[in-house]
């Protein structure tokens, strides 16, 4: 109970003591494709404080990965285009940065772990070559000798509890199992001291027992190193067990943001509730019917609240206006007209 | 409810993946399935759970006839599926159908939904009015009739899987193998597919062999569950009993690793066991009990003797030395 | 198939997701039009593809309507007009005349006819058996059928193609038909190899397993399930090969084993004119340029088709 109230205070809006590490303000991302423009992100707001573990949940294709790619500015442009919005990392707008500053953010500030560790590692280089490259290009490594670089590259491999790290340096990705590859990816992400780690579905392609190990490893490392984490996933259970605060995303909009405990205890947005009900429970009792319909067409998204065609509580206003965030309590916000009068 | 529809007896499937030795004479085999026995009862959903490499899909593919077993046999309503050396008769193919994991690859991208659904109708029900029947099949899986003109890539993942289910239903089978039918889909879509499958089971009195790696899903769909590890079954029990009282250390490890969304579920997870190690390569299966390398309750005997299946309670069997008969 | 970086893979996925949804919202009727529109969009993104397409269309038009569009159709055969022999390009003879006074432009138009006939006939002879063998071998990968078919193609591939063609043409009477026969004989293994690779991958796709589980026959699986998925690479290869076949046909004509004088084969014309180089350069240079234009046109078209299909298949 004590920790819960502490957490509640911790995320009580901008007035909280902890500084904002990352702040996304009203971000729009569009893709120009055959037949028009895909309006994927539609005014996304998102913040991460120092040392905070933030979850981002939503169905496939709701724009989670697009948001993260925008943060690192690795969206392919064209076809992507950012018609509006700001992304502040430690007070600096990433979208307005020059190449040199951007490189510094990528090599020292933010790193990313991808869903598929097989695709994230280059099959023709050894683990050592790939790790050493990361060490070399993080600025502090530039003055090191080859031996020192190699020694520095072993350290993260030890940290991620890989057996026989020296031999591991000379292995090729294909010689490792999926779980080991993901550990290597984490090692690579944590080679240089980072402030923010973006983990995009880090366990999804792995078995449950391996996913569990990877998530525990990630948890331990971020605690030790005091790194902030954005965990992207479509598995609600993973978010519940590993994050402090959660954003729920639907069709390019944030629909609900709350402390993790609060969200799982009191999901408010009809979409969050639908998602929560659809999760099969270990306690049994069958599965609810899911959410009818599917993610809208981004070429011509529904006006107003993008969820209204799938919502059982849709009202007239939902079809006309986009709902703003309503603050239900210090640690719970929801973008739904049902809560106009404060829930 | 009590008659058996499918009986798998001591099923073995080995794959030769290469040769070793000076003369390359000694075959290197992968024991994908190594002595698996279970029965599926008429009208039930039998769950087969395992991590990748456990051999659960090999069991499915052997049942459907993609592989011939190395040893052992599978019988369907008393009829041996691998009698003689010929291909499986159409009458049997009609009865046993499969829904694959990835609907993206199980539907031919160059054929439209009408053509896809027409094939089983043409082969197994030549007299019927095909167009009418296709519309009926689409209705059965809750898709509008005009979907028959679409190609798979125009559909969402869930809709593709619905088409795959419709195709399996088209032969009017009595037994359907569901090979991870929802693991590539989002939960909201998974919920729809699962509910559809349960409704269809009631409506047509189908028996399912449901394969998945997701234990919490299994809890909600299966009447009985078997856990596989490295080609062998570790534990079989009624679903409710299985989750209330897991015996095998591997089952406990699996349960402890599941990310859950509520406090009540948290209480069901074994607390003392945490997952360690990885599933070893099926080329080099550890001696004795194949799980002993990862087992937190390992004893000396485990690395030497492979345990046998023991019935600990009625309908609950475990293959572990901890529960060996005294 | 071009290898994609993880990023573009992901993007393609997201875009596919989204566009797939877009597609399903339109009415069934308009979908064919939309697909054509999308394909055209992809094809036309590279302007060189358009250049290729236009070149090919122009050449086909000129070849088909050669008697109508050629300024002197009668110059296509054994025609003699010594008064106008060896004229350099001028207003009357745009590309000049050859040593017996025939209009080179007209002869090039008719030359296109032989070249295109060569290409079309060779491909028509080569593609069906080559593809069928590749499908059979690929679907039965690992069996004796596969071994026999693929070793046979290896044997044919081991013979240097031009030497084989030369041998056949010099043993039989040198004419266009035998040239086509010779080229066909050495060309089919390429299709077998291409389709073999595709089919042996496709046979492991789950849609093939599904069809087998349903009880579909081998013919159905090979021609209805696997073949449609090979069409685009086959098409692309065909358009690229058109250029190559024309080139080889011209080479055979050049050494006197293809189109026989006085018929205007492009290669034959280059060969005849070569004697009068460099003074009367136009006699051989313009037919040579015509070969370049045709081959280049087909190659650019092939590249465009590949772009179009590749993007569609991801």
Q: Which residues of C touch A74 (CB under 8 A)?
A: 7
Question: Has residue A85 got a pLDDT over 80?
Answer: yes
Is CATH 3.40.50.300 the classification given to domain A22-339?
yes
Q: A245-259, B143-157, C12-26: which has the highest mean pLDDT?
A: A245-259
* Lowest mean pLDDT across A53-67, B77-91, B111-125, B174-188: B77-91
B186:A60 CB<8 A: yes
Judge whether C293 and C59 are in contact, CB under 8 Å: yes
Question: Has residue A108 got a pLDDT over 70?
Answer: yes
Q: Between these two residues, B272 and A146, which has the higher pLDDT value? A: A146
Interatomic CA distance for residues B210 and B306, integer angstroms? 27
pLDDT at C31: 57
* Lowest mean pLDDT across B23-27, B71-75, B79-83, C93-97: B23-27
Judge whether C268 and C86 are in contact, CB under 8 Å: no
Q: Which residues of B touch A60 (CB under 8 A)?
A: 157, 186
B110:C213 CB<8 A: no
* Lowest mean pLDDT across B76-90, B98-112, B263-277, C12-26: C12-26
pLDDT at B17: 81
Is CATH 3.40.1360.10 the classification given to domain C48-313?
no
With cut-offs at 50, 70 and 90, classify the pLDDT of residue C8. Answer: very low
Helix, strand, coil in percent for chain A, rounding step 5: 40, 25, 35
B98:C210 CB<8 A: yes
Judge whether C244 and C58 are in contact, CB under 8 Å: no
User: Hey, is C4 helix, strand or coil?
Assistant: coil
* Lowest mean pLDDT across B213-217, C44-48, C126-130: C44-48
Report the residue of C4, C9, C11 to disrupt the A interface, i.e. the one with the largest count of A CBs within 10 Å: C11
Q: Between these two residues, B325 and A35, which has the higher pLDDT value? A: A35
pLDDT at B235: 93
Q: Which residues contact B71 (CB under 8 A, 6 or more apart)?
A: B10, B11, B12
Interatomic CA distance for residues C250 and C239, integer angstroms? 17
Q: What residues form DSSP beta bridges with A55?
A: A231, A246
pLDDT at C271: 81
Closest residue on chain B to C210 (Cα): B106
With cut-offs at 50, 70 and 90, classify the pLDDT of residue B198. Answer: very high
Give which of B117, B107, B121 is closest to B171, Cα–Cα: B121
ipTM: 0.86
Please report the residues numbered 195 through 224 in chain C whose beta carbons come closer than 8 angstroms to any beta carbon of chain B: 205-207, 209-216, 220, 224
C6:A65 CB<8 A: no
User: Hey, is C185 helix, strand or coil?
Assistant: helix
Task: Please give the structure tokens belonging to residue C268.
Answer: 């034959």
Interatomic CA distance for residues A307 and A311, integer angstroms? 6
Q: What is the enclosing helix (H) or strand (E) of A111?
A: strand A110-113
- The alpha carbon dihedral of A174, A177, A183, A186 has a sign of positive
Interatomic CA distance for residues B296 and B294, integer angstroms? 6
B106:C215 CB<8 A: no
Q: Between these two residues, C286 and C262, which has the higher pLDDT value? A: C286
Question: Has residue C21 got a pLDDT over 60?
Answer: no
Please identify which residue in the block is written with the tokens 């250390």: B249
Question: Has residue C23 got a pLDDT over 50?
Answer: no
With cut-offs at 50, 70 and 90, classify the pLDDT of residue A141. Answer: low
Give the residue extent of every domain in chain C.
1-43, 48-313
With cut-offs at 50, 70 and 90, classify the pLDDT of residue A8. Answer: very low
Judge whether A287 and A280 are in contact, CB under 8 Å: yes
Mean pLDDT of the C114-129 span: 90
With cut-offs at 50, 70 and 90, classify the pLDDT of residue C34. Answer: low
Q: Considering chain C, what percentage of its residues have pLDDT values greater than 90? A: 24
Mean pLDDT of the A101-110 span: 85
Q: What is the enclosing helix (H) or strand (E) of B111?
A: none
A61 → closest Cβ in C7, C8, C17? C17
Question: Has residue B326 got a pLDDT over 60?
Answer: no
pLDDT at C54: 93
Report the residue of C19, C20, C230 to disrupt the B interface, i.e. the one with the largest count of B CBs within 10 Å: C20
Q: Which residues of B touch C20 (CB under 8 A)?
A: 153-156
Judge whether A277 and B261 are in contact, CB under 8 Å: no
Give the residue extent of every domain in chain B.
4-279
* Lowest mean pLDDT across B94-98, B226-230, C33-37, C57-61: C33-37
Q: What does the pLDDT look like over A116-136, one tens digit per residue?
A: 878 888 888 888 888 888 887
Q: What does the pLDDT look like over C198-227, one tens digit per residue?
A: 999 999 899 999 999 998 889 999 999 999
How close does chain A come to C35, measured CA to CA in Å? 11
For chain B, list the strands marked E by DSSP.
4-20, 26-41, 45-49, 71-76, 79-80, 96-99, 175-179, 207-212, 224-229, 232-238, 310-313, 316-318
Interatomic CA distance for residues A90 and C143, integer angstroms? 64
Mean pLDDT of the B280-295 span: 85
Report the residue of A297, A300, A301, A309 to disrupt the C interface, i.e. the one with the largest count of C CBs within 10 Å: A297
User: A57-88: buried (b, 16+ CB within 10 Å) or exposed (e) per residue?
Assistant: bbbbbbbbbbbbbbbbeebeeeebebeebebb
Question: Has residue B121 got a pLDDT over 50?
Answer: yes
pLDDT at C314: 29
Q: What does the pLDDT look like over B78-117, one tens digit per residue?
A: 888 887 777 788 888 999 999 998 888 899 988 889 999 9
∠ Cα A236 B157 B50 (to 5°): 60
Q: What is the edge-to-edge ordering of all strands in the sheet holding A245-250? A: A110-113, A196-200, A228-233, A53-57, A245-250, A253-259, A332-334, A326-329
Collect all residues from B whose CB is shorter than 8 A from any CB in C: 61, 64-66, 90, 93-94, 96-98, 100, 102, 105-111, 119-120, 123-124, 146, 149-150, 153-156, 164, 167, 170-171
Chain A to chain C Cβ contacts (< 8 Å): 55
Neighbours of chain B (3+ CB pairs under 8 A): A, C
Q: What does the pLDDT look like over C91-118, one tens digit per residue?
A: 788 888 888 888 888 888 988 888 888 8
With cut-offs at 50, 70 and 90, classify the pLDDT of residue C9. Answer: very low
With cut-offs at 50, 70 and 90, classify the pLDDT of residue C245. Answer: confident
With cut-offs at 50, 70 and 90, classify the pLDDT of residue A3. Answer: very low
Question: Has residue A144 got a pLDDT over 80?
Answer: no
Mean pLDDT of chain C: 81
Q: Between these two residues, A145 and B143, which has the higher pLDDT value? A: B143
Phi, psi of B45 (to 5 degrees): -110, 115
Phi, psi of C288 (to 5 degrees): -60, -45
Question: Has residue C1 got a pLDDT over 70?
Answer: no
Q: What does the pLDDT look like over B143-167, one tens digit per residue?
A: 988 888 888 888 888 899 999 999 9
Mean pLDDT of chain B: 88
Q: Which residues contact A313 (CB under 8 A, 6 or more apart)?
A: A270, A338
CATH number, domain B4-279: 3.40.50.300
B51:A282 CB<8 A: no
Judge whether B157 and B78 are in contact, CB under 8 Å: no
Q: Between these two residues, B108 and A150, which has the higher pLDDT value? A: B108
Mean pLDDT of the A50-55 span: 90
Interatomic CA distance for residues B299 and C169, integer angstroms? 80
Q: Between these two residues, C161 and B145, which has the higher pLDDT value? A: B145
How close does chain A come to B52, measured CA to CA in Å? 7
Neighbours of chain A (3+ CB pairs under 8 A): B, C
Q: Which residues of B touch A278 (CB under 8 A)?
A: 187-188, 190-191
- Helices B113-124 & B157-170 angle (0-180, nearest 10): 10
pLDDT at C186: 83
pLDDT at A17: 56
Report the residue of B154, B164, B168 to disrupt the C interface, i.e. the one with the largest count of C CBs within 10 Å: B154
How close does chain A come to B218, measured CA to CA in Å? 9
A31 → closest Cβ in C8, C15, C21? C15
Query: How many helices and strands (H and E) does chain A possess?
Result: 13, 12
């Amino acid at each position: 109970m004590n920790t819960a109230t502490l957490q509640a205070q911790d995320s009580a809006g901008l007035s909280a003591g902890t500084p904002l590490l990352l702040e996304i303000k009203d971000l729009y991302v569009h893709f120009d494709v055959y037949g028009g423009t895909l309006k994927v992100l539609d005014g996304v707001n998102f913040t991460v404080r120092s040392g905070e573990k933030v979850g981002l949940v939503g169905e496939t294709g709701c724009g989670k990965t697009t948001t993260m790619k925008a943060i690192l500015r690795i969206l392919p442009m064209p076809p992507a285009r950012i018609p509006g919005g700001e992304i502040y990392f430690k007070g600096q707008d990433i979208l307005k940065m020059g190449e040199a500053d951007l490189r510094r953010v990528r090599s020292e500030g933010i790193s990313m772990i991808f869903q598929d560790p097989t695709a994230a590692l280059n099959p023709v280089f050894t683990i050592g070559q790939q790790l050493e490259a990361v060490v070399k290009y993080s600025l502090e490594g530039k003055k090191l000798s080859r031996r020192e670089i190699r020694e520095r590259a072993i350290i993260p491999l030890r940290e991620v509890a890989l057996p026989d790290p020296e031999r591991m340096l000379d292995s090729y990705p294909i010689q490792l199992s999926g779980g080991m590859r993901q550990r290597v990816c984490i090692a690579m992400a944590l080679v240089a001291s980072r402030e923010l780690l973006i983990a995009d579905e880090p366990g999804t392609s792995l078995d449950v027992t391996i996913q569990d190990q990877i998530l525990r490893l990630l948890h331990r490392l971020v605690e030790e190193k005091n790194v902030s984490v954005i965990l992207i996933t479509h598995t609600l259970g993973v978010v519940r067990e590993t994050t402090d605060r959660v954003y729920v995303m639907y069709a390019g909009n944030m629909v609900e943001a709350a402390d993790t405990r609060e969200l799982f205890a009191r999901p408010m947005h009809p979409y969050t509730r639908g998602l929560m009900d659809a999760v099969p429970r270990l306690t049994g009792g069958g599965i609810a019917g899911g959410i009818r319909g599917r993610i809208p067409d981004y070429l011509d998204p529904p006006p107003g609240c993008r969820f209204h065609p799938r919502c059982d509580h849709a009202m007239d206003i939902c079809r006309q206006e986009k709902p703003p965030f309503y603050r239900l309590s210090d640690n719970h916000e929801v973008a739904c007209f049902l809560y106009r009068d404060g829930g | 409810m009590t008659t058996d529809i499918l009986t798998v007896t001591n099923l073995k499937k080995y794959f030769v993946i290469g040769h070793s030795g000076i003369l390359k004479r000694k075959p290197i085999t992968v024991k994908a399935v190594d002595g698996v026995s279970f029965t599926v009862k008429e009208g039930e959903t039998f769950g087969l759970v395992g991590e990748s490499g456990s051999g659960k899909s090999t069991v499915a593919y052997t049942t459907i006839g993609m592989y011939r077993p190395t040893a052992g046999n599978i019988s369907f309503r008393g009829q041996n599926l691998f009698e003689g050396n010929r291909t499986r008769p159409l009458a049997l193919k009609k009865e046993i159908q499969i829904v694959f994991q990835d609907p993206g690859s199980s539907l031919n991208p160059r054929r439209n939904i009408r053509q896809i659904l027409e094939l089983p109708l043409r082969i197994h029900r030549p007299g019927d009015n095909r167009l009418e029947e296709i519309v009926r099949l689409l209705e059965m899986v809750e898709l509008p009739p005009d979907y028959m003109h679409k190609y798979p890539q125009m559909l969402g993942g869930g809709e593709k899987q619905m088409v795959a289910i419709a195709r399996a239903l088209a032969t009017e089978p009595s037994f359907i193998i569901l090979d991870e039918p929802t693991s590539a889909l989002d939960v909201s879509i998974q919920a729809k597919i699962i509910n559809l499958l349960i409704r269809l089971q009631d409506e047509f009195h189908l028996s399912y062999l449901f394969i998945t790696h997701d234990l919490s899903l299994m809890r909600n769909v299966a009447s009985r569950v078997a856990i596989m590890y490295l080609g062998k079954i570790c534990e079989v029990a009624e679903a409710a009993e299985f989750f209330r009282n897991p015996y095998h250390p591997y089952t406990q490890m699996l349960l402890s690793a599941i990310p859950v969304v509520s406090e009540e579920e948290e209480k069901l997870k074994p607390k003392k066991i945490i997952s360690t190690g990885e599933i070893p390569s099926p080329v080099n299966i550890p001696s004795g009990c194949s799980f002993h390398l990862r087992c937190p309750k390992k004893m000396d005997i485990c690395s030497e003797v492979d345990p046998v299946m023991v019935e600990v309670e009625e309908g609950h069997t475990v293959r572990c030395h901890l529960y060996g008969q005294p | 198939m071009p290898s994609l970086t993880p990023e573009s893979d992901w993007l393609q996925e997201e875009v596919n997701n989204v566009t797939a949804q877009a597609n399903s919202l339109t009415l069934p009727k308009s979908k064919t039009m939309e697909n054509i529109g999308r394909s055209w969009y992809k094809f036309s993104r590279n302007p060189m593809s358009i250049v290729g397409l236009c070149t090919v269309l122009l050449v086909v038009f000129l070849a088909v309507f050669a008697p109508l569009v050629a300024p002197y159709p009668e110059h296509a055969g054994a025609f003699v007009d010594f008064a106008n022999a060896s004229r350099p390009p001028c207003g009357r003879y745009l590309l000049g005349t050859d040593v017996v006074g025939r209009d080179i432009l007209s002869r090039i138009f008719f030359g296109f006819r032989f070249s295109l006939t060569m290409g079309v006939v060779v491909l028509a002879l080569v593609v069906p058996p080559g593809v069928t063998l590749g499908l059979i071998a690929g679907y039965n990968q690992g069996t004796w059928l596969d071994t026999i078919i693929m070793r046979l193609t290896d044997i044919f591939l081991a013979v240097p193609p031009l030497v084989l063609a030369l041998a056949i043409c010099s043993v039989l009477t040198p004419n266009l038909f035998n040239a086509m026969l010779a080229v066909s004989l050495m060309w089919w293994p390429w299709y077998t190899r291409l389709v073999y690779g595709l089919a042996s991958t496709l046979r492991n796709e789950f849609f093939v397993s599904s069809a087998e589980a349903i009880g579909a026959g081998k013919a159905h699986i090979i021609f209805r399930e696997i073949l449609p998925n090979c069409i685009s690479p086959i098409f692309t290869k065909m358009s690229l090969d058109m250029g190559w076949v024309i080139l080889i046909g011209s080479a055979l004509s050049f050494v006197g084993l293809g189109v026989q004088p006085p018929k205007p084969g492009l290669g034959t014309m280059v060969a005849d004119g070569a004697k009068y180089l460099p003074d009367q350069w136009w006699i051989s240079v313009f037919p040579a340029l015509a070969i370049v234009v045709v081959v280049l046109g087909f190659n650019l078209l092939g590249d465009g088709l590949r772009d179009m299909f590749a993007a569609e298949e991801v």
